[in-house]
Amino acid sequence: MDWGAVIVAAGRGKRMGADRNKAYLPLAGRPVLAHTLEAFEACEAVGEIVIVAAAGEEDEAEALARELGLRKVKRVIAGGAERQDSVYAGLAALTSEGALVHDAARPLVAPERIAACCRAAEESGAAALAVPVKDTIKLSDGGGMIVSTPERSLLWAVQTPQAFRRAELMDAHDRARADGAQATDDAMLLERLGRQVAIVESDYSNLKITTPEDLPIAELLLERRRRDGLERIR
């Protein structure tokens, strides 16, 4: 199966408290989005990339792709009012049979994890990166009281990328729109139709830049990767 990637960079990231899109905040001296795009450029399974930028930021995204010399970035388009709208627009802009959906704010994803997600989706139809939950999770009644404690061994924190057959995911988006259903990730759109999504175990370094505290953590992880790479060369 040929694979394309939708990189969603249209969110404002209110919890970041920044005066600009977090995709362009500096991480180790370069925009967050630069690290994300280079990971997909380096993954052999991925043949094309569509960047979904916030309206008015398309030129900035295109300039960054040119500056990085990324040959796989085929289009930069404007996102919609909600994440689902942005993802759907990106899917429509791809030409591949398989579609990866990835948040631009996850800049530390490893190319080998992307490829593993593609392989799992080719076998099962859909797949998502995830990590086992470390903490004990409590279910509340919505009023501040604990109702129950789910079995931790069954809980996973889902990440991106998530991989699907493009036509099937677009159909799930169409049906969600018709039903007025909202989802926080694309796997939920298939789940609501009774489709199974395979879990591909990821690593905890594939964090999402969400709050100001996440940037220095990501910088430390990048530095550790750099040191580990130099040690392997030696």
Cβ–Cβ under 8 Å, residues 98 and 122 = yes
Q: What is the residue range of 185's domain?
A: 3-233
CATH classification at residue 84: 3.90.550.10
Tell me what pLDDT residue 159 has.
Answer: 98
**Each residue's pLDDT tens digit, 167-207:** 999 999 999 999 999 999 999 999 999 999 999 999 999 99
Q: What's the predicted TM-score (pTM) here?
A: 0.95
Take residue 23 and report the two structure tokens written for it.
């995709």
Cα separation, 110 vs 215, in Å, equals: 17
Which pLDDT band, with edges at 50, 70 and 90, does 29 fall under? very high
Cβ–Cβ under 8 Å, residues 156 and 199 = yes
Say yes or no to pLDDT of 58 above 50: yes
Q: How many domains would you assign to the chain?
A: 1
> 161 preceded by cis ω (within 30°)?
yes
Q: Who has greater pLDDT, 232 or 141?
A: 141
